[in-house]
Structure 1
Amino acid sequence: MTGLQGKGAFVAGSDKPERSTVRVGFMPLTDCASLVMASVLGLDEKYGIRIVLSREQSWSGMRDRLVRGELDCAQLLYAMVYAVELGVGTAQKSMALLMNLNQNGQAITLSRALAARGAVDGAGLAALMANEARRFTFAHTFPTGNHALWLYYWLAAAGIEPMSACHVATVPPNQMAANLAAGHMDGFCAGEPWGERAVREGVGVTVATSQQVWPDHPGKALAACADFAQRHPNTCRALVCAVLEAGRWIDASAANRETASEAIASPAFVNVQRELIRERMLGCYNDGLGHRWHDPHRLRFYGDGAATFPYLSDAMWFMTQHRRWGLLAYDPDYRAVAERVNRLDLYREAAAATNTPLPSTVTRSSRLIDGRTWNGRDPALYAASFAASSHA
């Protein structure tokens, strides 16, 4: 703990973590990197805890283990946190969102067969579907999760009604490319490295990144059940401190991103070849159609604090999309729910301890792929502004 005195580190006295070992669930995805590196680099020990990582096999399984208390915290789909809080598709459980883990870095992939027929973007897909008698099948990773909402938003922006014009399936992320190759679906939305795998194996093409849908969108969240956060605030704060430092380390240089790619590619974590993670981790994209670019909105884990801050407007957006697609049957008090779930108090204390910059406001303004601006000012009006066919 040398050198931490006077810098806000919570390591002793009344601020000592209530629990020295923290069981944290994660999914084998590129964006588990800051959780993994917090442990690998020993940053957890710096703040008086030991992170015990638990590799999970499905989002629903990890959610259920968290709710049952078998995990203390978990890397959850941001939208899933709010589905649990509101009892959407599952039993209601009060939740605590401790921080955002990352921004950007997901992808929408279509089969190479569709791309060969002109479906290389939303407009091309819409034109193809208009002349087909069958309903196309698209997959996401969880019904109330981020990937479902990115997929629906992208389809709708192209004039495709997801709920009536498509079959939608839930598939584990690491099975996406195989199912696409087998012809079980026409496309999918998932986190990396599974979009990259589809491109490298020649079975799919990247027609959109999630950052094209919403530049610098929120990604996975570090979450706990509200009762755990209530009983263990110092433990949660220490965990956020460690993960903030890990995110800052990853974002600090290309060399660090290379090292993180190698670490998380190992069998204990994502269990893939390093090159499958490395390229898009560095922001180097190949869409499988001959187009290569360096994405200015690549996956990021810190972004001078902008990528980790739990903006209330981010939380409210996911609830508006649950409402839009009929997953949520009523308009909640969006702001009040976001203020209750997003633990800004713990995050701000962790930010002070790690010298992480804080934004000037708890909401932000963003322009999405369909030209709409989201700023969190009137969530109910925003949710209702979408076409009636997509709003329950």
Structure 2
Amino acid sequence: MERMMEAIHVFMVRVVCGAAALTVALTAPVAAAELGWPEKEELTFGFIKLTDMAPIAIAYEKGYFEDEGLYVTIEAQANWKVLLDGVIDGRLDGAHMLAGQPLAATIGFGTQAHIITPFSMDLNGNGITVSNAVWDAMKPHVPKQADGRPAHPISASALKPVIDQYRAEGKPFNMGMVFPVSTHNYELRYWLAAGGVHPGFYAPHKGDISGQLEAEALLSVTPPPQMPATLEAGTIYGYCVGEPWNQQAVFKGIGVPVITDYEIWKNNPEKVFGITAEFAEKYPNTTIRLTRALIRAAMWLDANANANRPEAVQILSQSQYVGADAEVIANSMTGTFEYEKGDRREVPDFNVFFRYFATYPYYSDAVWYLTQMRRWGQIDADQPDSWYREVAEKVYRPDLYAVAAKSLVAEGLADAADFPDFSTEDGYRAPQSEFIDGIEYDGTRPNAYIDSFPIGLKTGDRL
């Protein structure tokens, strides 16, 4: 009887609140009340054990999900494919995703499903690590600073003689990345190609999805938490992964991170929060409310010049989240990055969660991923510039983000200056040139960008 009376009480509260929300909607500017109650309150979100899942953990731990009437369960997933399949089949309501996953699924590369993102989770956060033996062979080719330490950023041109030597000895030079449509795959390929090393092509129309056609370095998939052990076993000679798995190699004494993705492309977009288009259509209030919670978490993570990061490190070190030693996570999460053991340098923007409009899902970010898919053959035929824009607009949803952000501003929970000017924003960043090779990227001209690379497919090319 007590449970029945409690259920009736909750129902009556919602009826009253719903009526109040309708009154506010008729008389007040956009605010949370007029968003309505979440249509689906109990949700399950997936993630991979990486520090950039932090907005989900913080939204949970700080009560931001509950503030939105959402009761969330968070579950670590074995790998990116299992995670994506879970969102597609409905086992998961949403997930921390590789930025390329919603795009690839929507265009049918690997799997077919319409996935969208209303929220970009972070900027930067990855690194490229090589084994100690490879680093020793690279060092003679790496310029030095006045203090004798290696000068950064380190070009893959320093790795090329090592790869050439391995190949001359009949040994394939194997490297790991986390998924075929991951940022890590494209960043590793970008770095290698910028240094004159061919990372190989895909040819799905021929049934070849190895990504190793014409490759000088052979890239293959390894789940993030397994990267250090795989490197230590000698199965791979280097890898590209998110934290804390580069710093783990330093702590274990088995490898050396040679470059961060911040040095490959300054303030590059990294993960997104992915849901199905069907979920967003069926549960519009829930979608806006979970986006609000994630925005608030990102704000907390970057607040007061990263003052909350030590607390975030303690949260992430728990076994249900990243589960690595707090010291390892702190090495990058608190604004530093350690290359060789003892060579710790200031990298305050290694992990960015909110500043620089990090959470806004820019169309131009989506287009960049699509250009790399085309460059390496995952998109096997030419597409007009208009196609890139259409796919970006189908997957990235700044319109949903804007509703969430405006409602937070209206309630005094956020400052309008922390967001793009929604009245003028077109979803395209100004042309960017802070790449390791200096090539400028203009998201409105994807084909011209693809044709600008010395290594990679060009307009008219097909393997």
The 5 Å alignment of 1:196-275 reads 196-253=247-304, 254-275=306-327
1:15 aligns with: 36
Question: Normalised by the size of structure 1, how large is the TM-score?
Answer: 0.94
| Identity in percent | 34
The answer on whether the counterparts of 1:302 and 1:308 sit within 8 Å (CA) in structure 2 is yes
Residues 218, 314 of structure 1: 8 Å contact kept: yes
User: Matched residue of 2:193: which SS?
Assistant: helix
Greater shift, 113-122 or 264-273, is seen at: 113-122
1:267 alignment partner, SS class: coil
Query: How much is the aligned-residue C-alpha RMSD, in angstroms?
Result: 1.9
Distance in 2 of aligned mates of 1:371 and 1:242: 37
Q: Is the 8 A contact 2:193 2:455 kept in 1?
A: no
- Report deviation, 1:388: 6.0
1:243 CA displacement: 0.7
Partner of residue 113, structure 1: 133
Offset of 1:88 from its aligned partner?
1.0
Shift of 1:11: 4.2
Cα offset, 1:297, TM superposition: 2.5
Letter in 2 for 1:129: I
Distance in 1 (CA, whole Å) between partners of 2:45 and 2:301 is 19
Which residue of structure 1 lines up, in the alignment, with residue 419 of structure 2? 358
Among candidates 65, 70, 82, match of residue 91 of structure 2: 70
Question: Shift of the alpha carbon at 1:135?
Answer: 2.5
Q: Which amino acid aligns with 2:403?
A: E
CA distance in 1, matches of 2:228, 2:222: 10
- Greater C-alpha radius of gyration: 2
Give the equivalent residue in structure 1 for 2:123: 103
The letter of the residue matching 2:135 is A
Judge conservation of contact 2:198–2:455 (CA < 8 Å) in 1: no
> What is the deviation of 1:55?
1.1
CA contact (8 A) 1:115 1:205 kept: yes
Partner Cα separation in structure 1 for residue 103 and residue 392 of structure 2? 9
State how far apart, in whole Å, the 2-side matches of 1:258 and 1:78 are.
27
Q: CA deviation at 1:348?
A: 0.1
Output aligned runs, 1:1-392, within 5 Å.
8-11=30-33, 15-90=36-111, 92-119=112-139, 121=154, 122-132=156-166, 133=168, 134-163=171-200, 164-253=215-304, 254-288=306-340, 290-303=342-355, 306-332=357-383, 333-355=387-409, 356=414, 357-360=418-421, 361=425, 362-364=427-429, 365-367=431-433, 368-387=435-454, 389-391=456-458, 392=462
SS at match of 2:337: strand
CA distance in 2, matches of 1:349, 1:166: 45
Query: How far 1:347 moved relative to its partner?
Result: 0.2
Q: For residue 44 of structure 2, give the secondary structure of its aligned residue in structure 1.
A: strand
- CA change 1:40–1:182 in 2 (3 A) is same
Distance change in 2, residues 1:250/1:8 (3 Å): farther
Give me the whole-angstrom Cα distance separating, in 1, the residues matched to 2:273 and 2:286: 13
1:36, 1:8 → 2: CA distance?
27
| C-alpha distance in structure 2 between counterparts of 1:311 and 1:373, whole Å | 17
**Which stretches in structure 2 are left out of the alignment for 5+ residues?**
1-16, 143-153, 201-214
- Between the aligned partners of 1:297 and 1:264, the Cα distance in structure 2 is 18
Secondary structure of the structure 2 residue equivalent to 1:353: helix
Number of aligned residues = 387
Residue matched to 2:5: none
Contact 2:375–2:456 (Cα < 8 Å) also in 1: no
Cα distance in 1 between the residues matched to 2:195 and 2:343: 21
Q: Give the SS at the match of 2:249.
A: helix
- Native 8 Å contact 2:263 2:436 kept in 1: yes
Secondary structure of the structure 2 residue equivalent to 1:76 = strand
Amino acid at match of 2:436: I
User: TM (normalized to structure 2)?
Assistant: 0.80
d(CA) in 2 for partners of 1:126 and 1:390? Answer: 21
Q: Distance in 1 between matches of 2:30 and 2:179?
A: 38
- Counterpart CA distance in 1 for 2:457 and 2:130 is 23
How far residue 155 of structure 1 moved from its aligned partner, in angstroms, is 0.4
Structure 2 Cα separation of the partners of residues 48 and 160 of structure 1: 51
Cα offsets for 1:61-114 (capped at 9, x unmatched): 000011101111111000111111111122x11111111001011100011111
TM-fit CA distance, 1:30:
0.3
Give SS of 2:364's match: helix
- TM superposition shift of 1:339: 1.0
The Cα shift of 1:369 comes to 1.2
Matched AA of 2:428: T
- AA aligned to 1:236 is T
Structure 1 unaligned runs (5+)?
none
Structure 2 distance, partners of 1:118, 1:341, is: 41
1:289 CA drift (Å): 5.5
User: Hey, what's the Cα distance between the residues in 2 that align with 1:155 and 1:291?
Assistant: 23
